[in-house]
Structure 1
Amino acid sequence: MSEFSTLRQRAGLTVAEAARAAGYDERTAYRWESGEVKPREAVLRLLRSMQEPVARREPGEPAFRFIDLFAGIGGLRRGFEAIGGKCVFTSEWDKYAQLTYRANFPYDDHEVNGDIRQVAEADIPQFDVLLAGFPCQPFSLAGVSKKNSLNRAHGFADETQGTLFFDVARILAHHRPAAFLLENVKNLLSHDRGRTFEVIKDVLQEQLGYHISYRVVDGKPWTPQHRERIFIVGFRDPTAFSMNDMPIPEGGPVLASILHGAAEIEEPEAPYSEGPEGKAAAKYTLSQHLWTYLQNYAEKHRQKGNGFGFGLVGPGDTARTLSARYHKDGSEILIDQGKGRIPRRLTPRECARLMGFDRPGQPPVRIPVSDTQAYRQFGNAVVVPVVEAIARHMEPHLMKALAAQEPERDVA
């Protein structure tokens, strides 16, 4: 029996289901099954990770349907599943993010679509809420200015063509869902001297007719990390909803709540932690060469009066923002291991906790990819408890909006 076959059976998957989870066709999977061809290590790693339990959607009729665009590893989705939503369409172009997504949502009855630009809006099933953590890109206003000068009408296709926000706009225009949530970096507000955000607001409000509210929210009250992101909520019909009314918890946890060995939170988990106390594996400690380089780099910029340098933190602290480049040197969040010891990076498991994907009382998120890819994925993700808080703030307004729709609305 091939290793693929053994792992597949332990995961409780058919050959077809395993092929779908890994993103390959059935013919290839049957060659793995027979041992004719050995799959890539990423496929075997995925199946090994699927031996562990995964949080599953509760059975029953969903409260609403949503789509997950620029999905990453499903952070936005988790917040809306928490209030009873069902995901009916997913789009994510990165193949490694797709692996992690499939591993954590194996119960989906739909595929993970790739490039959203290649998907016609009419091919997307009906839904009630659109979720999108769309990339920030500059918009060219030259065409708009020219048309204004000629007193000619223009629309979002003219203003946003060539950007990924255009795909959000065209899907909203076609399906007219009851609501949406868009997420982006804080700098979206000042991007291209504020012109990018002005176009976005104009498209959503004036051209598509949605009632929007937005707010920059820091993840610190929910997880031990400063992470400011802008969230834009829109409702199709008039509503009293306001992001400014959303309650924000006071205080916030510290790093001891997510670090290996700093609290009684887990058994040792290879390859991330080891030993009877479950401390971080030795491989996450920086090399002497890298540690010396980072110290010299920080000192050089200190002498110039710059603020560049590493972020050294301990169990009682709050971390800087985790970035997608964390895999390079880990400099923004280095864990102090005590006097005379070289600091270490966070492990991918600690990153999952830092971003709120792993939470007490829930099965840990599956991480079927390499450390490098995991760091990129968590660095690009949203803080899940923040999204859940927004979803719960939206919930009464969303339920009211859906109740006012046609009686024949189908949420099955």
Structure 2
Amino acid sequence: MTYHVTVIGGGPSGLMAAIAAAEQGASVLLLEKGKKLGTKLAISGGGRCNVTNRLPEEEVIRHLPGNGKFLYSPFSVFNNYDIIDFFERLGVGLKEEDHGRMFPASNKAQDVVQSLLTYLDTLHVEVRKQTKVDGIQYGENHHTIHLSDSEPVHTKSLIIATGGKAVPHTGSTGDGYKWAKTAGHTITTLFPTEVPLLSDDSFIKEKKLQGVSLRDVDVSVLNQKNKPIITHKMDMLFTHFGISGPAVLRCSQYAVKEFMKGHKPVTIEIDTLPDQTLQQLTETYMKKREENPKKTWKNTIKGIVPERMIDYLMENNDIPAEQTNAHLSKEQFHGFLQNLKHFHVLVHDSQPIEKAFVTGGGVSIKEVVPNTLQSKMMHHLYFCGEILDIHGYTGGYNITSALVTGHVSGMNAAWEGMA
């Protein structure tokens, strides 16, 4: 038998592609090399599954710094609001949390995965798990998929939804790139995004700030001229190897791109008090010093940042713990406040792509038709999800991209496969 549509990969985009194709009435085969479908969905959002984001389309695209604008076309067919309607139609109630993030009301990612599996069943999609693809032979009227342990599969349309190289234990180990190359596609440089950063600074190596987290701080990646390339205001964390936490993960791809240009180390600047200028801080604490000359500087500044950070900054500026305001020198005072506003960490690398949340790079979007996700290099071939050179920040944006491109590719592959 020749299937109308075959989808390789049972992650978010592959599941959505198989569903959209079957909704058009196509005969659909879904191949997954792992034991389970939807593994990445099941662990996303800390096991709660951040299915999409309710922000306006413009905002969602802004949160996809890696070629998000490519999604304007697919969004005109199926967008983040359609994703919400889709899951509610399947009986998964969703709730909105901060920054527009949408989660299942039950807080269980498994409910999202199960709703998709049940629907695949209802639509009579043939699913083969633990099925490894060895290679693809592209043909004029149909493609042949060679499997490790069974007969080859013939299909009119083929959708490659194999993911990137991030989070490999979910099965995304980069298999699809070679099949895309065989079809004549360019794979842009792959790099980790949403990834912790590594530092050899002595205070990191000596674990002086390990475990200290800072809330609502400005984290910036500085270029060679010490100007910010990007700034994100969120929480961050000092670790035994460097820095992590939401603000750092968002900034990480910009640091990684600097490394790729041969710029190492890269300076990360932390403004621990972004809501006050250095001048305001100086005036406030100058006044406090004058009013309380006998009070220690440590007690005067208490609570402004976590205590271990205060201890480190005092050490950094040669201020003894018992130093009173009256005895604090001009250099010590200004140096301390300067550190609060411009704390620098030199990062020399990121954790590897396998430890990243998202893969940067992939099948070049210049070689894919935006409103159908069809290959420009090979007829009857489609791509969706993280194999494409599209990536976003965490917060439901990558899953949105996966589900949208999955839906659009599945629909179009079915029309072409049945034509």
Range into which the TM-score falls when normalised by the shorter chain: under 0.3
Q: Which has the higher contact order (CA 8 A, sep 6+)?
A: 2
TM-score (ref. length: structure 2): 0.26
TM-score (ref. length: structure 1): 0.26
User: Is the radius of gyration larger for structure 1 or structure 2?
Assistant: 2
